Amino acid sequence: MLWLKAWLETRWRVAWALMIGILFFAMPIISTRNAPSTTAAQVRVALLMFLIVQAAIFAAIMLAGSGIHTASTRAGASDKGAERSMIFTLSLPVTRLRLFLVRTATGILETGIFLAILFTALWILWPQPTTSPRDALGYFAMVAACSLAVYALSACLSTFCDEGARVRASVVILIVPSAFVFRAGRSSVNTFHDLALTTHAASGLIIGTAIALAALFFAAAILIIQRRDY
Amino acid sequence: MIAPIIEIEGLRKSFGSRVALNGLDLRVPTGSVFGFLGRNGAGKTTTIKHLLGLVKADAGAARIFGQPVADPRTGLSIRRRLGFVTEDKELYPYMTVEGMLRFTRPFFPDWRLDLERRYLDLFDLPPDTAVSQLSKGMRSKLMLLLAISHGAELLILDEPMDGLDPAASEEVLRELVGMAADQGTTIFFSSHQLPDVEQIADHVAIIDRGRTLIWGNLDDIKAHYQRLSIVCAGEPPVDIGRLDGIESIRRNGRMLSILVSRNADAITAQLRQSLGGIVERFPVTLKELFLEHVGNNKCSG
C-alpha cells in the first residue's frame, strides 16, 4: 500500500513532467518547421539532445520529494496535507527506512520511465544515421546516471526542507557549480561533443561519479531520517 | 499488582534551548483509562511522540508492553499492537474514507472487519467521501476508527475529542469506556476537556514543564485532596502553611480556603483548635486540582 500511496502523491507531478516533456519535444519541431529538411533534422536532434538533459534534471527534481518530512499545521497551505499526514504514516508499523526506500524507488521509477519515453520518442521520430544505437544508449545511460545524482541530491534535501524550499535549493545547488563551469571556459553547450563522450572513457567516469554521488546523497538521506525527530 | 502497560522513567528531551521533557516519570496501568493532562507546551505531545518512536529522548527510557520504544525493532511490534490518534487529525487528503481503510488494513494482520463496520455505522462516516471534504470532527472519528479496528491493546489518543460537537464527543467517550470495560483496552489520552477526563478516566497524570506533578488513581487522588474552608475569628497564624499536608492557602478577608493532600482529619482538628472557627470540608474537582498544581507551578517558576 505504501507504493500506491507514493504513486497517488506523485501522479500529478508525473503528469506535469510529461507535459513539460511534450513541450520540450514541440519546441524544436516548431522552431525548425520552415528550415530545409536535412538541416531541420540535424538541428532538431541537437536541440532535443540538449533539451532532454534539461527535461531529465527537471523531472528528477520534480519527482524527488521522497524524504520523510513533516509540515507543521501552522504551515497553512492546502498542499501541505501530505506532509502533515506523515505523523499518521510514521505511527503505522512501518520503519522509516522502508518508507523512504518505497518513496525513493517510486520516484526513481517514475523518472526512469519519463526518460525512457523521451529517448524512445526521440529515437523513433528522428533516427540518426550518424549515431549508432550503442552511442545513443551510452548517452541515455549518462543522462540517466546524472539524473539519479540530481534526484538523490533533491531527495536528501527533502529530508529536512519542505517542498518549495527543496526545489529552490536543488536548483540553486545545480546552477552555482554550472555557472563556474561555464565561466571556466565552456561558454556554450555542444551537444555533439557530449554525445561524442559516449565513445570516450570520460563517459564511464561521468556515470561512475554520478552514481557515487547518488549513493552518497542517499546514504546521507537515510542517516538523517533515522536520526531526526518528527 | 498488574504490570504497567506504559512505563516512563526520567525522560528528558530538549529542542535547542527549549526543554520539552525534564525528567518525566509515568506508569500507566494495564486496562486503565488514563487522562494525560497539562497546559499547552507542557510536554504531552512530545511524550506521546516518543512513545510512538517519532521523537528520540536525550535521556531516560520508556517501555510499552515491557519493550523499549527507542529500539526500532521493538518499536515496530509495539506499533502493531496499538492505535493512535494524532493531535492535528491529518490523514491523506487525496484518499476517500474507504481508501483510508483499504490503505491501513494491510499493516495490521489482526484487522477486524466487524469492528470496522460497527464504527463506520456508529460514527456515520460516508465511505466514498474524500478525506479533504471531511470536517475536523469527522477526521477525528475516522482516525479513531482506524485506531480501533485492528483490535489494539492500547490506544494513544492525542486530544481525541478536539473538533467534536458535544453529542459526538459524548458518543466517543461512551465507546472508549465501553472498549476499556469490554475488551480490556488501555486508553491513554491527552485532553484539555477536564470534565470529559473526569467523566471517563480512572487514572490521571498532570504534567507541567516536562515533569509529572501528580499521577495515580483519580478516586484516590480525589479522596486525598480536600478543600477546607474556615472563617477565622481573629488573624490567621502565619505558620499555618507549615502543617504537613497543606498544599496551598488562599485568603479572602477572614475566609481561608486551604487545599490539603493528606492528613485532612488532623489538619481540620488543628485548625479548629488554633483558629476556633467552623471548618467545612469539600471534595475537589479535577479542574481545581489541575489549576492548583499547574497554577502554582507557573507562579513558582
Across the interface, which of B56, B72, B86 has its CB nearest the CB of A88? B86
Mean pLDDT of B158-166: 86
- Residues B55, A85: C-beta atoms closer than 8 Å: no
Give the pLDDT band (50/70/90) at residue A76: very low
pLDDT over 80 (residue A46): no
Residue B271 is predicted with a pLDDT of: 80
- Residues A93, B84: C-beta atoms closer than 8 Å: no
| Per-residue cell: B117 | 463496520
- Residues B90, A84: C-beta atoms closer than 8 Å: yes
Residue A78 is predicted with a pLDDT of: 42
pLDDT over 90 (residue A229): no
A223 in reach of chain B (CB within 8 A): no
B56 in reach of chain A (CB within 8 A): yes
Instruction: Please list every residue in chain B whose beta carbon sits closer than 8 Å to the beta carbon of residue A92.
Output: 79, 104, 107
DSSP string, chain B: -PPEEEEEEEEEEEETTEEEEEEEEEEEETT-EEEEEE-TTSSHHHHHHHHTTSS--SEEEEEETTEETTSHHHHHHHHHTEEEE-SS----TTSBHHHHHHHHGGG-TT--HHHHHHHHHHTT--TTSBGGGS-HHHHHHHHHHHHHTTT-SEEEEESTTTT--HHHHHHHHHHHHHHHHHH--EEEEE-S-HHHHHHH-SEEEEEETTEEEEEEEHHHHHHH-EEEEEE-SSPPPGGGGGSTTEEEEEEETTEEEEEESS-HHHHHHHHHHHH-S-EEEEE--HHHHHHHHHHHHHHH-
Give the pLDDT band (50/70/90) at residue B236: low
B88 in reach of chain A (CB within 8 A): yes
B106 in reach of chain A (CB within 8 A): yes
- Residues A85, B79: C-beta atoms closer than 8 Å: no
Residue A223 is predicted with a pLDDT of: 95
The more confidently predicted of residues A43 and B25 is B25
The nearest CA of chain A is from the CA of B157 a distance in Å of 12
Average pLDDT, chain B: 88
Across the interface, which of B80, B91, B104 has its CB nearest the CB of A85? B91
Q: Which residue of A has its CA nearest to B75?
A: A93
The more confidently predicted of residues A76 and A220 is A220
CB atoms within 10 A of CB B2: 8
Residue A70 is predicted with a pLDDT of: 63
B86 in reach of chain A (CB within 8 A): yes
Global pTM value: 0.83
pLDDT over 50 (residue B220): yes
State pLDDT tens for residues B107-150.
Answer: 999 999 999 999 999 889 999 999 999 988 899 999 999 999 99
B95 in reach of chain A (CB within 8 A): yes
Give the C-alpha distances (Å, rounded to integers) separating B248 from A178, B226, B258, B262, B269: 69, 11, 6, 12, 18
CB proximity under 8 Å: A 39-78 to B: 73, 78
Sign of CA dihedral A127, A132, A135, A141: positive
CB proximity under 8 Å: A 131-170 to B: none
Mean pLDDT of A106-118: 91
Pairing assessment for the beta strands B4-15 and B154-158 based on DSSP bridges: unpaired
- Residues B54, A87: C-beta atoms closer than 8 Å: yes
- CA A155, CA A66: separation in Å to the nearest integer? 6
The nearest CA of chain B is from the CA of A17 a distance in Å of 20
Residue A82 is predicted with a pLDDT of: 58
CB atoms within 10 A of CB A52: 22
A94 in reach of chain B (CB within 8 A): yes
- CA A7, CA A136: separation in Å to the nearest integer? 30
Instruction: Please list every residue in chain A whose beta carbon sits closer than 8 Å to the beta carbon of residue B98.
Output: none
